[in-house]
């Protein structure tokens, strides 16, 4: 049974309204309190994870952390870590990751996640599935009643070969709408992941039902590489909202 949610800080009295980015930063900074010198850290991708990585870089430069090894979940994060002077490695060299910190697109009441609207779900899943502790950091807008409940995209990474075939299979399997992700403002250019694949965004009209059953069915479609449901992977959830910051362990 999951531990109850704990309110770990209330908003400062002088500031009652926060922007979404400020909330992301508050959650990210709380998560970095779990980082200790000598740890191997999975570095997430996205605007929330970016704040955490900036903070780790800052603490390294202040000498408050040392001997950190970062495992980036995307080329973008690898670049950020490089710019901040955070040493990086991979899960071939460091197959045990002490702690990963990452954002999410949706979090359900059981701490299951949707990830990948930033396009990095495959590397994120590979790295975050081999960490001892996976801290998910979100602002309160990411909380949903059920996965797929935001009405927004459920990302699935697929191989480019005959992608329309794969998209149609997914549509008929789930009765959803499947859209190829394209580069922003370039409707003819498919978005290409760090792994050279495409992303199909699925839009569901209702909840997807049993997540494991749905995820396994997706993976059985030839052409699918990985889906964006992170089922039972998060160990800690930090949510920042107008109410303050809450922490929940699984």
72 is a contact residue toward ligand 5RP (CB under 6 A): no
Residue whose entry in the numeric block shows the structure tokens 């396994």: 216
227 in contact with ligand 5RP (CB under 6 A): no
Alpha carbon 92 to chain centroid, angstroms: 21
Return the active site residues: 124
> Per rule CB under 6 A, is residue 223 in the interface with ligand 5RP?
no
Between the CA of residue 138 and those of 21, 72, 133, 210, 239, what are the distances in Å? 10, 19, 16, 24, 5
Please name the helix (run of DSSP H) or strand (run of DSSP E) that holds residue 200, with its range, or none. strand 198-203
- Of residues 89, 110, 107, the one with CA closest to residue 98: 89
Q: What is the size of the binding site for ligand 5RP (CB under 6 A)? A: 18
Q: Give the one residue of 29, 39, 44, 60 binding ligand 5RP; rule: CB under 6 A.
A: 44
**Segment near ligand 5RP (CB under 6 A), from 41-49, 76-84, 166-174, 191-199?**
41-49
Give yes or no for residue 42 binding ligand 5RP (CB under 6 A).
no
**Contact letters (x/-) for ligand 5RP, 104-123, by CB under 6 A?**
xx---------xxxxxxx--
Size of the chain in residues: 250
In the complex, the smallest distance separating the C-beta of residue 37 from ligand 5RP, rounded to whole angstroms, is 25
Give dist(CA 129, CA 8) in Å, integer.
27
CB 108 within 8 A of CB 147: yes
Nearest distance in Å: CB 47, ligand 5RP: 3
> What is the contact surface with ligand 5RP in residues (CB under 6 A)?
44-49, 102-105, 115-121, 124
């Amino acid at each position: 049974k999951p531990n109850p949610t704990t309110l770990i800080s209330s908003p400062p009295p002088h500031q009652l309204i926060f922007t979404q980015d400020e909330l992301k930063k508050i959650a990210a900074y709380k998560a970095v309190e779990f980082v200790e010198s000598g740890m191997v850290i999975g570095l997430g991708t996205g605007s929330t994870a970016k704040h955490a990585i900036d903070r780790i870089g800052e603490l390294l430069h202040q000498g408050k952390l040392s001997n950190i090894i970062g495992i980036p979940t995307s080329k973008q994060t690898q670049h950020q870590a490089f710019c901040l002077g955070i040493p990086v490695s991979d899960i071939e060299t460091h197959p045990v990751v002490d702690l990963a910190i990452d954002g999410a697109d949706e979090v359900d009441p059981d701490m299951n996640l949707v990830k990948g609207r930033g396009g990095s779900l495959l590397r994120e899943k590979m790295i975050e599935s081999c960490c001892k502790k996976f801290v998910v950091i979100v602002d309160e807008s990411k909380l949903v009643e059920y996965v797929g409940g935001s009405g927004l995209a459920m990302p699935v990474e697929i191989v480019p070969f005959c992608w329309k075939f794969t998209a149609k299979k997914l549509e008929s399997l789930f009765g959803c709408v499947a859209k190829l992700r394209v580069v922003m403002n370039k409707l003819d250019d498919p978005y290409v992941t760090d792994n050279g694949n495409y992303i199909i965004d699925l839009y569901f009209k209702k909840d997807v039902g049993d997540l494991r059953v749905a995820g396994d069915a997706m993976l059985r479609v030839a052409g699918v590489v990985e889906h964006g449901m992170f089922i039972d992977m998060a160990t800690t959830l930090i949510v920042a909202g107008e109410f303050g910051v809450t922490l929940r362990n699984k």
